[in-house]
């Protein structure tokens, strides 16, 4: 599903997803499915600790539901016509569908191929034509391409989104829920300016 532009910046992180989009966890409802499946499997293999696992999983599911509600409320404050952003690579299709934000990217799901000059020019034209006002780099990507797009369009980079990896302990994205909340807050604050 989704689409792949087949582009990359040549800055390899071994980040090739082949022909599918693995970023399903960018939709909190999918994360809830993961938690339930992990809970159920662990309860089967460790029945002695099943009660504690169920309690912990249920607590985490409540946190996921609460963050999902906050996400929907914040994104709902952004005018629909302003919910268009550009990110480094195509890691946010699930987020886009779940929360009604259009993400454009210079690269598809993989960061293994070069971005052509024609692709770059096309993105710059689209940003100018559509009045897109938000560019985001990702914590796993080389920011130079989006810095160039920013220079060419006059659209500032709104900050760094967590796309594929959480961050070091003590930083804003050091857990899944903190990472997701960081992304939502950054998108909201940038698009509401």
- State yes or no: pLDDT of 161 exceeds 90: yes
pLDDT at 111: 54
pLDDT at 112: 60
Q: What is the pLDDT of residues 93-150, one digit of tens each?
A: 999 999 999 999 887 655 566 778 888 899 999 999 999 999 999 887 778 888 999 9
In tens, the pLDDT along 6-31 reads: 333 333 334 444 567 788 999 999 99
Residue-level pLDDT at 113: 62
DSSP per-residue string spanning the chain: --------BS---S---TTS---GGGSHHHHHHHHHHHHHHHHHH-GGGHHHHHHHHHHHHHHHHHHHHHHHHHHHHS-GGG-EEEEEES--HHHHHHHT-EEEEEE-S---SBPPHHHHHHHHHHHHHHT---EEEETTS-THHHHHHHHHH-PPEEEEE-SS----TTSTTSSHHHHHHHHHHHHHHHHT-
pTM of the model: 0.84
pLDDT, tens digit (0-9, with 9 covering 90-100), for 62-99: 999 999 999 999 999 999 999 999 998 788 999 999 99
């Amino acid at each position: 599903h989704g689409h792949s532009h087949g582009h990359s910046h040549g800055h390899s992180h071994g980040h090739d997803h082949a022909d599918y989009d693995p970023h399903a966890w960018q939709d909190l409802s999918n994360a809830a499915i993961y938690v339930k499946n992990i809970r159920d499997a662990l309860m089967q293999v460790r029945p002695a600790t099943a009660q504690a696992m169920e309690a912990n999983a249920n607590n985490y599911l409540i946190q996921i539901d609460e963050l999902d509600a906050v996400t929907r409320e914040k994104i709902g404050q952004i005018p629909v016509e302003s919910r268009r952003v550009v990110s480094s690579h195509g890691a946010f299709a699930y987020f886009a569908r779940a929360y009604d934000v259009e993400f454009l990217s210079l690269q598809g799901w993989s960061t293994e191929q070069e971005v052509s000059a024609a692709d770059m020019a096309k993105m710059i034209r689209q940003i100018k034509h559509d009045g897109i006002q938000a560019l985001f780099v990702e914590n796993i990507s080389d920011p130079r391409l989006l810095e160039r797009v920013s220079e060419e369009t006059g659209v500032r980079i709104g900050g760094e989104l967590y796309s594929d990896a959480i961050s070091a302990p003590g930083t804003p994205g050091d857990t899944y829920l903190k990472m997701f909340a960081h992304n939502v807050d950054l998108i909201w604050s940038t698009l509401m300016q």
